[in-house]
Amino acid sequence: MKRFSSPIRILLLLLCAFAVPFRAHAHVGSKDVYEQVDAGPYKLFVTIRTPIVIPGVASVEARSNGATVKSIRITPLPITGEASKHPPTSDPMTNSSADPAFFTGSIWMMASGSWQVRFEIAGDAGTQTVSVPVPAVALSTLKMQHGLGITLGILGLFLVVSMAGIVAAAVRDARLAPGAIPSPDLRRRAILATAGSLVVMALLIWGGAAWWNVEAASYALDVYHPMAVTPALSGNTLDLNVQSYDGGKERSFRSNKDFLPDHGHLMHLYAIREPEMDAVFHLHPELASAGDFRISLPAMPSGTYKLYGDIVHANGFPETLVSTITVPADMPGGPLGPDDANGSPQPLSQGQLGNSYKLPDGYVMVWDRPSTVSANTAYAFRFHLLDANGKPATDVQPYMGMAGHAAFVKTDGAVFAHTHPEGSAAMAALMLANGSSENDASDRHGAMNTVAMNMDMGTHSEPISSTVEFPYGFPSSGRYRIFIQMKHSATIETGAFDVVVP
Ligand SMILES: [Cu+2]
């Protein structure tokens, strides 16, 4: 932590108190982690609100909804590397006196990177340990507030003028006998000394500003930028060229060659037609060469599409790579890939989608919409798949190893979060943090086990529940469209729901 000398760090932390709105990118604009955690008999609904500057404090909330939990201790540690083997001493979470199932705590995130919060859960059913991945990045350089700047400026000017006054008085009056009047020569020397002191102070201020700018530029290199991606469409072949991010600092470097498969694919790409969000595709480009993802696009209605490509680095750090393509009217289209799916909800301008969404094959997706939805509040959003007779579907299958996939997308494109029933953390990172991988089906955690086994068993597993829940909280107010994907028999359904968050 040699980035800042401590006065500057303290000042930066102080400035957090004067935070201004910002845009974040870890999905896109959705930094907080909402996770449904299973650890043996214990179930925790975890919310981790990450800081927007690093070092910074993350606040952690956990609600127990399984076996009774007596105490929870938390500790932050990297997901991979030597430091991941030596967790620091854990801190106890505070148990709410009003609600014994609710725990709160906070932890310092001291460096950017791929972190996890490890939970040690204790209760009558014994002790369990489980980890939740937390990508920690600085998302913003905080601008000083106008009023604060003016106040500090006036105080600074007062210091300079006072200093000049002290110098003038010292030169003119210091050796004068009481009551004597300073000579014209003394007065002239006082004026010269005052001018000299002003020059020295101007130089000091200029030097201080230069030093500050160097520090700020160094910090700005650590502010998170997603890796750049350049799309190229030729016929229906889409290439996504991903460039490593190199801010010139080792700790902010992210490679375009270290991707982990996440529920079976290296990239999960959502293509959403702009501006009406009336066509959505969930696609899976393959690596054609290092840093180059390629896919033969299916038939797509023409227009401009926003692309959100989710990848996970080898250290468990997830990124959403954003770009835009224009699909021409005469683009040839191939078939959808086996894990690919699409939907065509009504355009945004035709009003709001309600709580039930009619699917092309007669099935219906239903949202148990909460009576109120507010920003920065954790929910378990619940959806059901009904068959053509309005009965809960009995032929629901895991879709890429999960009961469902959700994408929460703000209509202005400022928020995109692709989440799962386990939560908003990337599955590959979750597995890494809990000591397993997609190649290792014999891992130790129930939820992860199910996923890994479902993937091994492909599409021929037992029918699963027709109800699916997604832990999530909207990061800001505004209008969102939610895309929900579930699979029954061999059909992947894409439902859509609108919500305005006040
Ligand atoms: Cu998914």
Condensed to tens digits (0 to 9), the pLDDT of residues 73-120 reads 999 999 998 888 888 899 999 999 999 999 999 999 988 889 999 999
Residue 347 CA to ligand 1 center (angstroms) comes to 23
Helix (H) or strand (E) holding 167: helix 146-173
In this predicted structure, what is the pLDDT of residue 154?
A: 95
Check whether residue 47 and residue 177 sit in a common domain.
Answer: no
In-domain check, residue 327: yes
Q: How far is the CA of 445 from the centre of ligand 1 (A)?
A: 20
Percentage of the chain surpassing pLDDT 90?
Answer: 68
Q: Are 280 and 318 in contact (CB under 8 A)?
A: no
206 plus 253 within the same structural domain: no
pLDDT at 250: 66
| Rounded Cα–Cα distance for residues 112 and 249 (Å) | 12
What would the mean pLDDT of 184-189 be, rounded to a whole number? 88
Report helix, strand and coil shares of the chain as percent, to nearest 5: 20, 40, 40
Task: Indicate whether 498 pLDDT > 60.
Answer: yes
Q: How far, in Å, is the centroid of ligand 1 from the Cα of 395?
A: 20
Q: What is the mean pLDDT of residues 217-222?
A: 80
- Neighbouring residues of 179: CB distance < 8 A, sequence distance ≥ 6: none
Pairing of strands 292-296, 286-289: antiparallel
Region 295-316 average pLDDT: 95
Does 194 lie in the same domain as 56?
no
- The answer to whether residues 463 and 376 belong to one domain is yes
The letter for the amino acid at 498 is: D
Express each pLDDT in 458-479 by its tens digit: 445 678 999 999 999 999 999 9
H or E segment and range at residue 423: none
Q: Is residue 37 located within the same domain as residue 120? A: yes
- Using one digit for the tens of pLDDT, what is the confidence trace for 113-144? 899 999 999 999 999 999 999 998 888 777 78
In this structure, the answer to whether residues 392 and 308 fall within a common structural domain is: no
Q: In angstroms, what is the span from residue 171 Cα to ligand 1's centroid?
A: 75
- Note whether 186 and 313 are same-domain residues: no
What pLDDT score was predicted for residue 241? 96
pLDDT for residue 412 is more than 50 = yes
**Separation of 421 CA from ligand 1 center, angstroms?**
9
> Number of structural domains, the chain?
4
- At 351 the pLDDT is 93
User: What's the mean pLDDT in 393-418?
Assistant: 94
Min mean pLDDT across 198-207, 210-219, 487-496 is at: 210-219
* Residue 165 CA to ligand 1 centre (angstroms): 68
Give me ligand 1 centre to Cα 416, in Å: 12
For residue 102, the CA-to-ligand 1 centroid distance in Å is 29
Cβ contact 293:286 at 8 Å: yes
Whole-angstrom Cα distance, residue 360 to residue 495? Answer: 10
Instruction: HSE, CB side, 13 Å, CA atoms: give it for residue 282.
Output: 24
Quickly count: other Cβ atoms within 10 Å of residue 484's Cβ: 23
Ligand 1 centroid distance, CA of 431 (Å):
15
Per the domain annotation, does 502 fall within a domain?
A: yes
Whether residue 479 sits in one domain with residue 396:
yes
Output the CA 434–ligand 1 centroid distance in Å: 19
Using 50, 70 and 90 to split pLDDT, how confident is the model at 251?
A: low
CA of 406 to the centre of ligand 1 (A): 7
In angstroms, what is the span from residue 405 Cα to ligand 1's centroid? 4
Of 187, 194, 186, residue with least CA distance to 167: 194
What separation in Å is there between the alpha carbon of 407 and the centre of ligand 1? 8
Please list the residues that pair with 418 across neighbouring strands.
407
Residue 63 lies in a domain: yes
Last-in-domain residue among 106, 136, 166: 136
Q: What is the CATH number of the domain that holds 296?
A: 2.60.40.10
Task: Round to whole Å and give the CA distance between 365 and 497.
Answer: 9
Residue 3 lies in a domain: no
Instruction: Tell me, in angstroms, the distance from the centre of ligand 1 to residue 420's CA.
Output: 6
Distance 427 CA to ligand 1 centre (A): 9
Within a domain: 118: yes
- Average pLDDT of span 435-462: 46
C-beta of residue 25 within 8 angstroms of C-beta of residue 135:
no
Out of 316, 344, 372, a domain closes at 344
* 214 C-alpha to ligand 1 centroid (Å): 41
At 331, which helix (H) or strand (E)? none
In tens, the pLDDT along 11-66 reads 444 444 333 333 334 488 898 999 999 999 999 999 999 998 888 999 999 999 99
Kindly give the distance from the C-alpha atom of residue 58 to the centroid of ligand 1, in angstroms, as a whole number.
Answer: 26
Residue 5 counted as domain residue: no
217 plus 360 within the same structural domain: no
Examine the domain organization and report whether 448 and 387 are in the same domain.
Answer: yes
Token duo for residue 250: 């080792």
Q: Are residues 363 and 498 in the same domain?
A: yes
Domain annotation covers residue 239: yes
Give the pLDDT score at 446.
40
The answer to whether residue 6 is domain-embedded is no
281 C-alpha to center of ligand 1: Å? 12
Cα 472 to averaged position of ligand 1 atoms, centre (Å)? 14
DSSP 316: S
Which residues constitute the domain of residue 339? 226-344
Helix (H, G, I), strand (E, B) or coil at 45: strand
Query: What pLDDT band is residue 173 in, cutting at 50, 70 and 90?
Result: confident
Distance in angstroms (rounded) separating the CA atoms of residues 397 and 459: 7
Angle between helices 184-222 and 6-16 (to 10 degrees): 70
Are residues 410 and 457 both part of a single domain? yes
What is the structure's pLDDT at 457? Answer: 41
Amino acid 460: pLDDT: 52
- Lowest-confidence segment of 214-218, 228-232, 277-281 by average pLDDT: 214-218
How far apart (Å, rounded) are the C-alpha atoms in residues 217 and 221?
Answer: 7
Check pLDDT > 90 for residue 222.
no
Domain boundary among 222, 243, 267: 222
| pLDDT tens digits, one per residue of 336-390 | 999 999 999 999 999 999 999 999 999 999 999 999 999 999 999 999 999 999 9
Q: How far does the centroid of ligand 1 lie from the alpha carbon of residue 310, in Å?
A: 9
Å from CA of 459 to ligand 1 middle:
16
User: How confident is the model over 279-296, as pLDDT tens digits?
Assistant: 999 999 999 999 999 999
